[in-house]
């Protein structure tokens, strides 16, 4: 079965650079969530999209932005990177419509290292 795809899997950037993380949800899933997991921490919700519109916003810095495109893939854009942005970034997808308690399916994550 198709799973959530994230690219790249690993990314190394310098401070103050920009990064773009991509997420391809499971086909027919209508909701995408982004989470940030720091070393030894639980995943923290950043932002979500439902049917290409931002649906909820969590602890996402102003330096970050995201969007969901017409093909439902999503991109997380990160600018002015800081050392503290080094983390594992997960994308998850879910089928929201009609089943509000469906589980979220997580991608393998993108490990971002800021030097």
Partner 1 sequence: AQSVAQPEDQVNVAEGNPLTVKCTYSVSGNPYLFWYVQYPNRGLQFLLKYITGDNLVKGSYGFEAEFNKSQTSFHLKKPSALVSDSALYFCAVRDMTTDSWGKFQFGAGTQVVVTP
For 72, half-sphere exposure in the C-beta direction (CA atoms, 13 angstrom radius) is 19
- Which of 111, 115, 104 shows the shortest CA–CA distance to 37? 111
The separation between CA 77 and the C-alpha centre of its own chain, rounded to angstroms, equals 10
Min CB(67)–partner 1 separation in Å: 16
Min CB(34)–partner 1 separation in Å: 10
Min CB(92)–partner 1 separation in Å: 8
Identify which of residues 19 and 48 has a Cβ nearer to partner 1 in the complex.
48
- For residue 85, CA distances in Å to 12, 109, 111 come to 11, 14, 10
Q: Which of 7, 67, 79, 104 binds partner 1 (CB under 8 A)?
A: 104
The dihedrals phi and psi of 83, each to the nearest 5 degrees, come to -55, -35
Residues of this chain that interact with partner 1 (CB under 8 A) are 4, 31, 33, 35, 41-45, 48, 50, 55-56, 58, 90, 92, 94, 96, 100-101, 103-109, 111
């Amino acid at each position: 079965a198709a799973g959530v795809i994230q690219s790249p899997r690993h990314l190394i950037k310098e401070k103050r650079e920009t990064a773009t993380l991509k997420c391809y949800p499971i086909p027919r899933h209508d909701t995408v969530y982004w989470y940030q997991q720091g070393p030894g921490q639980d995943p923290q919700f950043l932002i979500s999209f439902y049917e290409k519109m931002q649906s909820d916003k969590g602890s996402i810095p102003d330096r970050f932005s995201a969007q969901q495109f017409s093909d439902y893939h999503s991109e997380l854009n990160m600018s002015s990177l800081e050392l503290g942005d080094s983390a594992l970034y997960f994308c998850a997808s879910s089928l929201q419509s009609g089943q509000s308690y469906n589980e979220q399916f997580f991608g393998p994550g993108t490990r971002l290292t800021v030097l």
